[in-house]
Structure 1
Amino acid sequence: MKLIDLNRHGGIGANSIFVQIGDFNILVDAGLHPKMVGKEALPDFEPIEDLDLDLIILTHCHLDHLGGLPIVASLHPDAPIITSLPNLTLAPRMLRNSINVMKRQRQELNILDYPLFLHRDVAAVSKRLVGQRFERGEVYLKGKDRIEVTLHPAGHVAGAAAVEFIHKHRRIVFSGDVLFEAQRTLPGAHLPKGKIDTLILETTRGRTARKPEVNRASEVDRLIDTVAAILERGGSCLIPVFALGRMQELFKILYEARNFGRLPRCPVFAAGLGIDLCNHFEKIRRSTRLVDFDLGMLEKMRVQQPDPKMRPGRDLPRKGIYLVSSGMMVEHTPSYHIAASLLPHPDNGICFVGYCDPETPGGEILAEPEAENYFFDALDYLAPRQASVDQFDLSGHADREELAAYAVQSEARAVVLTHGDADAREWFLEELQANMPDSTVINPEPLCQYQI
């Protein structure tokens, strides 16, 4: 088997891996790098430009795995795009939103490369999506060669899949992004068990060990208690969330907490892509039963749109819970603007519910808890830090110990590390070399070809 990591910057970003298995040329994912702009945000497809792809696999619909799909699909028009059933609904919606964001960035930031693709390209991708049920293998033929492809539920987010290839009795598994714990909206991962020849393993949380006393349930309890305290002192609570996955789970957490009397009844404000995706979750629930999300929750909570006339520094008159994207409070997003209104007032609070990149506004605020001020650069506003700021570990990724244990039980002949920053991969490299002495552990350099 040949393997090339096409994410030109390494780490977590434009996730895309090419593998040649027998006669089959296969691409797993084609994402956009969230910290890069223009064509630099894409994977580098040059190493495969002279090849004909036989299969394209989409593991899930976060843009770091999906956002470059229209580009590579147009370069390889005959390759079917295999994905799970929920992604037939989610992928086109996420890509259409990406076009709108790129058009706005072209105007605001003068990025002439944007948009990288158009709505007609999304329509073309939609027609080529091949839905495959979880844990039901499908066989593909090329001449005299054959390969079996099985998707397994990976937790993480609705539609997320691990991918298993069986070729001439060899099992090759891409973990995708994994969460073993169940969320409020979907079950945990059910990855293929038993001996594997080659395992391509995500390493997202490799730099962080979870404290033994902390788990998802205890973090949910702490979040509810914190939100209740903010509301009881007369403040508003901002919860920055990712539109796909985290917003829907938080809606259910808040709804259940209110029903059990742990949160006071108060206005809940939400807007944008995440709300639209709630409608898609309802359709997925009805058609596949793979998610647990009832759109009626939003009606019962009387979810409202935030006031569009907010100004930096001026507290929001409509007190309540603001559940908006982006999860890292990226500039020009609703959470960024709402934070600029809430941060200077001590009754308010901001509750981050997942990882924030250190270079994003959310990461900067979390990194300097003792700072007296925070400068909202896009708004040219220096805000006094008066509101409370807390972080809760409700990540969509499995703990490093869980993933390492999965790798060890697989007895894989080779483990390839992916989807992790340098220090995260280094932890996995040392851990797996110590516990899998008979296996080869590879931390691939971007764009280098490996024979495995």
Structure 2
Amino acid sequence: MATRKVLSELKEKIRGFLPNIKIKSIEFEGPNLVVYVEDPKQLLGSGDIIKKLAKDLRKRIIVRADPKSRKPPGEAEEIIKQVVPEEAKITSIFFDEENGEVIIEAEKPGIVIGKRGKTLREIIIETGWSPRVVRTPPIRSKTIEDIRNFLLSVREERKEILKKVGERIHRGTIYKDKWVRITFLGGSREVGRSCYLLQTPESKIMIDCGVNVSNLNQTPYLYVPEVTPLDSIDAVVVTHAHLDHCGLIPILYKYGYKGPIYLTQPTRDLMVLLQLDFIDVAVKEGGVTPYESQHIREALKHTITLDYGVVTDIAPDVRLTFYNAGHILGSAIAHFHIGEGLYNVAFTGDFKFERTRLFDKAETNFPRLEALVMEATYGGSEDFQPSRKEAEEKLIEVINKTVSRGGKVLIPAFAVGRSQEVMIVLEEAIREKKIPEVPVYLDGMIYEATAIHTAYPEYLNAHLRDLIFHQGVNPFISESFVRVDSASKRDEVINDKSPAVIIATSGMLNGGPVMEYFKALAPDEKNTLVFVGYQAEGTLGRRIQKGWKEVPFPSNGKREVVYVNMEVVTVDGFSGHSDRRQLINYVKSLSSKPEKVLTVHGDEGKCIELASAIYKTFRIETRAPMNLETVRLL
């Protein structure tokens, strides 16, 4: 009843504000208020009016042509092909009926847009669809295409889901009490299974829900009273796509959650890719999967993607804004504005406070910030990493040394983030002849994850975008990179005696194709194993890093011993996490100084040491909460 009243009042205001536009209907669709107009021409030039209206009403407002005024997709596609000049080289036209958009992929998007948007206007008038033009990615992503097709196939169901989400968001507030608290369900004084519950008298918001990659039996504490029943949660927010933050999202739908997931578009695509691989690897290794592919699809059905900087209602008293975290593609700092100026809290997720080969450094400019929940992966007093330049020079040195003795370099890497960073360094080093032209083999999901990176150039840093769009150099599609996409190709790489670099998943040597390479290459002292990312306690990677020379290795249901004679090198500086200096500098650089800082996502000692250092440096109240602890912020 409260929702209907809110909608009725909003309709009245909008009709009064837009008296000359023929409005067909106004509906809540998820966090958006969607205004459907009868005549597509009325979409033209309405941008400024809608921005003013959205600001006045403090709602996300989208104007679309009424579905009945749109041409059928087949007919609309023919019109678009006639309207857009051939030299634009359109490669794909996809109709997003949910949003009333036609996504046009072209090699020359500027020609599709036309002079001062002339061609776009013509498309709107002739078809009734709102065009969105994107540059054709140089590598096609099967994941993105599958996600598009799946969401298209469930569009009617999605409409109902979004309608219910909209009703729940706008249900109105009930309680006069004002408090804010966080329950720590995982990822506190540990790395893995990140999961937090933000609560007010009105709302429950879950931030992340990950697996512990070193112990899959350890899951977040989803059975505690604060969380149950799962459908009492208003929203789930995912900061980024690494499994220790999103690996157990589908289990929520398996056990009764029916609400939305908020995340960036690249995070959505990478999350699906990694979750499908997660259960696939578990099945191949004879393990038990915590959920099935149907639960991944159910979660995908409930996703709502947001861009950086867009303020969105996600509960009656909570607004969410994502900011760049600089960690991996689409990674976000989640900023929550609670009540009407009552309280503001941000969760950094994993973040990098340094410009990298891929991303700009993490955002520090927030309108207001009373509390900060931040990672402490490298928060220890001795956790200082070398500069990125030093790290790159050391990697090049190690590769040259190994190649000169006829060996192979094996780099275990996460499919998302570290792999692409290393690829860009190697591409430049080969192009500038700093290392010989050896093949760089990509195995596991690295190639597909890279394809997703090429689909979202707007999330990459300005230098990389300039390199790709204006200088015609795309490091991701260098001829030096060779995709390994079959077991026979993998055997061929292993048996080939010539030098090579192999980048393979997983990054901590706890499964995936890297295991086969390691088993084959470890006994030969000519070869080198290079760690470029964090190795969690309990993983095979950490054991080897500590100097184990004989490691137990699973093989065909049995355990055998692998002798590690290969050189083992750790190249610090490539991490997507901030080191101790960057963590402290991040707090120092915040535009709005928080009253409280809570440190998570680090070994116990590192969380405590970072909290202590922040208190001593800035005299800010700090805590290193434990799992199952609830901290009241207000």
1:324 deviation in Å? Answer: 0.7
Work out whether 1:344 is the aligned partner of 2:529. no
Partner residue in 2 for 1:125: 299
Per the alignment, do residues 317 and 84 of structure 1 end up closer, same or farther by CA in structure 2, a change over 3 Å counting? same
Q: Give how far 1:358 is off.
A: 4.0
Aligned to 2:311: 137
In the alignment, what sits opposite 2:404?
232
Within 1, Cα distance between the matches of 2:240 and 2:421? 17
- Greater shift, 301-310 or 255-264, is seen at 301-310
Deviation at 1:193, TM superposition (A): 4.3
Report what 2:222 is aligned to. Answer: 44
Q: Confirm or deny that 1:26 pairs with 2:205.
A: yes
Instruction: Give 1:207 shift.
Output: 2.3
Whole-angstrom CA distance in 2 between matches of 1:93 and 1:383: 31
| Paired amino acid for 1:400 | R
SS of the equivalent of 1:224 reads helix
Which deviates the most, 12-21 or 288-297?
288-297
CA contact (8 A) 1:316 1:342 kept: no
Q: Deviations over 1:184-218 (max 9, x none)?
A: 22222113347521111111111263558x21111
Residue in structure 2 matched with residue 100 of structure 1 by the alignment: 280
Q: Secondary structure of 1:171's partner?
A: strand
Structure that is richer in helix per residue = 2
Larger RCO, structure (CA 8 Å, separation 6 or more): 1
1:451 aligns with 632
Match of 2:622 in 1: 441
CA distance in 2, matches of 1:403, 1:231: 36
Distance 1:224 1:43, change over 3 A: farther
- Equivalence for 1:187: 360
SS in 1 for 2:597: strand
* TM-score, L = length of structure 2: 0.64
The CA deviation at 1:385 is 4.0
Residue 278 (structure 1) aligns with: 450
Q: In structure 2, do the counterparts of structure 1 residues 440 and 132 end up closer, same or farther at CA, with 3 Å as the change threshold? A: same
Superposed displacement of residue 307, structure 1? 8.3
Alignment partner, residue 542 of structure 2: 363
TM-score, scaled relative to structure 1: 0.88
Residue pair 1:358, 1:367 contacting (<8 A) in 2 also: no
**Do residues 411 (structure 1) and 584 (structure 2) align?**
no
1:420 — aligned with what?
602
Residue 201 (str. 1) matches residue 374 (str. 2): yes
Aligned residues: 432
CA contact (8 A) 2:210 2:246 kept: yes
SS in 1 for 2:484: coil
1:306 & 1:100 partners in 2: Cα distance? 15
Question: Among 374, 378, 382, which residue is 2:550 paired with?
Answer: 374
Contiguous gaps of at least 5 residues in structure 1: none
Contact 1:179 1:397 (8 Å CA) reproduced: yes
Which moved further from structure 2: 243-252 or 302-311?
302-311
User: How far apart, in 2, do the equivalents of 1:351 and 1:388 lie?
Assistant: 8
What SS does the corresponding residue of 2:379 show, helix, strand or coil? coil
Q: What SS is found at the alignment partner of 1:378?
A: strand
Instruction: State the distance in 2 between where 1:8 and 1:156 align.
Output: 17
Specify the code of the residue in structure 2 equivalent to 1:396.
Answer: G
For residue 46 of structure 1, give the secondary structure of its aligned residue in structure 2.
coil
- Distance in structure 1 (CA, Å) of the matches to 2:251 and 2:563: 44
Contact 2:311–2:319 under 8 Å retained in 1: yes
Cα displacement string for residues 255-296 of structure 1 (whole angstroms, at most 9, x for unaligned residues): 1110000110112222121222122222223xx454758777
1:400 is aligned to 2:571: no
Distance, in Å, in 2 between the alignment partners of 1:166 and 1:301 is 47
Q: C-alpha separation between the residues in 1 aligned to 2:499 and 2:618?
A: 54
Aligned-partner Cα distance in 2 for 1:426–1:289: 33
Contact 2:551–2:562, Cα closer than 8 Å, also in 1: yes
Q: CA deviation at 1:430?
A: 1.5
CA change 1:289–1:307 in 2 (3 A) is closer
C-alpha offsets along residues 108-155 of structure 1, whole Å, 9 cap, x if unaligned? Answer: xxx4xx22212121111112111111012123452xxx3221100001
Q: SS state of the match for residue 321, structure 2?
A: strand
Instruction: Confirm or deny: 8 A CA contact 1:32 1:43 kept in the other structure.
Output: no
Query: Over the residues paired in the alignment, what is the CA RMSD in angstroms?
Result: 2.6
- On the 8 A contact 2:380/2:609 being kept in 1, the answer is yes
Query: What is the letter of the counterpart of residue 191 of structure 1?
Result: T
> In the alignment, residue 534 of structure 2 is paired with which amino acid?
Y
Deviations 1:360-405 (A, max 9, x none): 222222212xx6x323432455455432221111111011222223
- 1: CA distance, partners of 2:613 / 2:402: 41
**Does structure 2 conserve the Cα–Cα contact (< 8 Å) formed by 1:328 and 1:356?**
yes
What percentage of aligned pairs have identical amino acids?
22
Match of 2:163 in 1: none
